[in-house]
Amino acid sequence: MKALLDRARSFKRRVDFESGEYRRLAEGQYPEALFITCSDSRVIPALITGARPGEIFELRNAGNIVPPHGRQGASGEAATIEYALEVLGVQDIVVCGHSHCGAMGALKSGDDLSALPGVDAWLQLARPRLAPVLDGQVEDPSMPDVAQLNVVNQLAVLRSYPATRRRLDTGRLRLHGWYYEVDTGQVHELDEDGLFRVHAA
């Protein structure tokens, strides 16, 4: 923590806040994309994409899960999606799963999460749509199988949001599915045929 604190204290000295770039940030944000990914500390959207401050709007939670539209109770995820679309007008949304994901690993292994009731309740949102790989329909699914299917599923949930549907129908929004490998740095992109592939830069 000391190193983090020291870097925070010296941040103003390390960055040129007199530059036009940072002055423009104070006037408002105009991100290009909403990036939905896991809270995992090894998955850093700005590092993966090379994004500068103000370029991506982030939504992070355990397992990069999008709760169903209209789910009872307040939802930070639903509020973030709504704000990104209705106020910021983002034209792209990325749902990015990753290797070595603890949330997907817990679902794959059927871990007893009774000591973590909040985690258990949250992961139940993803479980029904993962049933084909979790309940024996796929013999010995791999972690990439589970994490990638979860990305596909969360994109489907995202399409159920009225604001998403309206923009998709009028061509004002594009959805992207990514799978990030923590140990290699490779980004696999979901293609139209439903397969994840690494594309050349």
pLDDT band at 178 (very low <50, low <70, confident <90, very high): very high
Q: How is residue 150 annotated by DSSP?
A: H
Mean pLDDT of 14-43: 89
pLDDT tens readout for residues 66-82? 999 988 777 999 999 99
pLDDT at 46 over 70: yes
Q: What is the mean pLDDT of the chain?
A: 93
- Say what the pTM is: 0.92
Which residue stretches of the chain are H helix?
Answer: 2-9, 11-14, 20-27, 45-49, 76-86, 102-109, 117-123, 127-134, 143-159, 162-169
pLDDT band at 44 (very low <50, low <70, confident <90, very high): very high
Q: Residue 77 has which token pair? A: 């995820």
Burial 113-126 (b: 16+ CB within 10 A, else e): beeeeebeebbebb
Q: How is residue 112 annotated by DSSP?
A: -
pLDDT tens readout for residues 30-43? 999 999 999 999 99
Residue type for position 40: D
Mean pLDDT of 168-197: 97
Q: So what's the pLDDT on residue 193?
A: 95
Q: So what's the pLDDT on residue 138?
A: 62
Burial 143-158 (b: 16+ CB within 10 A, else e): bbbbbbbbbebbbebb
Instruction: Indicate the range of 43-52, 66-75, 80-89, 92-101 predicted with least confidence.
Output: 66-75
pLDDT tens readout for residues 98-150? 999 999 999 999 999 999 999 999 999 999 999 988 887 666 789 999 999 99
Q: So what's the pLDDT on residue 160?
A: 95
Share of the chain above pLDDT 70, in %: 99
